Amino acid sequence: MNKHIDRGFEQLYNGEYEEADREFRKADCRGGRSLVAFKGRSFEKAMNQACKCIKREENHFSRERSVALKVIKLSLEKVEPDGMNRPEVVLPEARDLVGNVSWGEVNANIMEFVEDRPPFSDLLEDEPAGRDLRDEKIGKAFELIKSGRLDRGFGLFADLSDGYRDDPFLSACWAVSPDCVVDAPSELGLEEFRSEVKRILRLSEEAPDAIRASVLGLCLFNIYIEWGDREDVLKEGERLLERSLECFERAGELGGEGDFLRSYRGLCYSLVGELGEAISLFEGVSEESGWYSLARGVAERSREELEEVLAVERTYDLLGRALEARVEGRARDELEYLEEIDPECFGEYIRGWRPEGSTRPGYGSIAERVAELKIDLDVEPDIETLKLAVESNPENGKITGYLVERGTKKLDDGDFEGATKYFEAVPEDHDDFQFLKSYGEALKGSGKYGMAAEVFGELGSEDPTLFSPSS
């Protein structure tokens, strides 16, 4: 073919209609120009160019005459005579040319033409064979995606979307490609993008078969992932995810199956917080599947998240039981419940927590309460719990008094290091004279002379023997 015709088709595929028309005009190819006008919905111009193509018996590309006849036939069905410039000239001529045509032969030629050029599939939109071909290509495109050959599947859907601009389902399939979704607000314009999203949501309510339900679910999922949390762009964020999951569930009800469906149902469930259901679906994905890596990765993250959720739920359950025991004065039961909580929660300050609907007081620091209970029950708290308790509430006199008492006992027993551990946990602003003296002695006995000097300095001591290793 002429290089201008090659360029014309390439630009026509890309939706660059003015550039395509310019190239076809350079090649004096009226069949090509009729296609440009038809794709651009300029039906009067499409018929005018197609009529000239047939009269001149042009043959710039294979099956050009059949293409021109089909353009005339479809344009006659779509054109609004009241909006035409010269209906009295164009319409009679167009009708005359298609009046005695063998459409079986023409459609066979168009089938071959469309096989090579999917974007022109709408030339067969009025024929059962064309609808069968369309559905066959939809099935093929979806099969490519299901098998993990995403780029090819996305590309075929893009061709079909361009080729069937009047088909509500296929014209929505631009959104099967995440890359197209990323650019959609800027390329379509924000208002048009929002309108498209609403249209896809409406379409998804009536998906007639498993393939269309799955594809629309994928479109909505992609839009949700990219724009669902951007309220300045879309208001339907959560609805997108809900409807996407509904589409995938609907696809299953309509006979859809396989690892693609399991994976995307699992992704939706993981995003709505149904982690157990998500993990179950991911575990059903075959190791040989192209979706296995995705499923395994998300399943692992879902397990980790589920463990965290269950830990939180267990923590609040134990807190509820502990609070009930506290109100009823069952100190040992309260302590038992609190000690079952993950130690990582001990340092968390849970102010004002209470069971739903309860007016009873909440807990402060779990560690602080554990320390208090053990002191009351004469059960020695470990030093780390005491430290966390002091960090949570340095003004708790009971715990400070216990630390001083235990440190003094260790000091009296000659356990300088043990005494130092308790004294170090005492709040820094506790400046009791006897405590500081005992603390200094414990530090000195532990060989920490510099720190001992600082403590004794706070007491205003000028006796140098206090800092001497041999004194």
Q: Is pLDDT of 296 > 90?
A: no
Please give the share of the chain, as a percent, with pLDDT higher than 70. Answer: 89
- pLDDT score at 365: 74
**One-character DSSP codes across 353-405:** ---TT--S---SBHHHHHHHHHHHTT-PPPHHHHHHHHHH-TT-HHHHHHHHH
- pLDDT score at 124: 65
349: which strand partners? 365
Separation between Cα atoms, residue 371 and residue 392, nearest integer Å: 12
Mind listing the pLDDT tens digit for each residue in 356-367? 554 444 456 788
Instruction: List domains and CATH numbers for the chain.
Output: 3-118 (1.25.40), 130-257 (1.25.40), 405-471 (1.25.40)
Residue 38, C-beta contacts closer than 8 angstroms, at least 6 positions apart = 46, 71, 74, 75
- pLDDT score at 122: 67
Q: Taking residues 87-107, report their average pLDDT.
A: 88
Q: Taking residues 385-393, report their average pLDDT.
A: 85
Exposure string (b/e) for 412-421, b if CB count within 10 Å is 16 or more?
eeebbebbbb
- pLDDT score at 45: 94
Q: Is pLDDT of 323 > 90?
A: no
Phi, psi (deg, nearest 5) at residue 365: -75, 135
- pLDDT score at 385: 86
- pLDDT score at 217: 93
Alpha helices in 14-98 (DSSP H): 17-26, 30-39, 43-55, 64-78, 87-98
Mean pLDDT of the chain: 84
Res. 167 pLDDT band, cuts 50 70 90: confident
- pLDDT score at 352: 41
365: which strand partners? 349
Res. 318 pLDDT band, cuts 50 70 90: confident
Residue whose C-alpha is closest to residue 57's, from 103, 16, 97:
97
Question: Regarding predicted confidence, which is higher, 453 or 67?
Answer: 67
Q: Is pLDDT of 219 > 90?
A: yes
Q: Is pLDDT of 135 > 60?
A: yes
Res. 146 pLDDT band, cuts 50 70 90: confident
Q: Is pLDDT of 246 > 90?
A: yes
Q: Taking residues 250-272, report their average pLDDT.
A: 89
Mind listing the pLDDT tens digit for each residue in 438-471? 888 888 888 888 887 887 777 665 454 444 444 4
Q: What is the pTM of this model?
A: 0.55
Q: Is pLDDT of 144 > 80?
A: yes
**One-character DSSP codes across 211-250:** HHHHHHHHHHHHHHHHHTT-TTT-S-HHHHHHHHHHHHHH
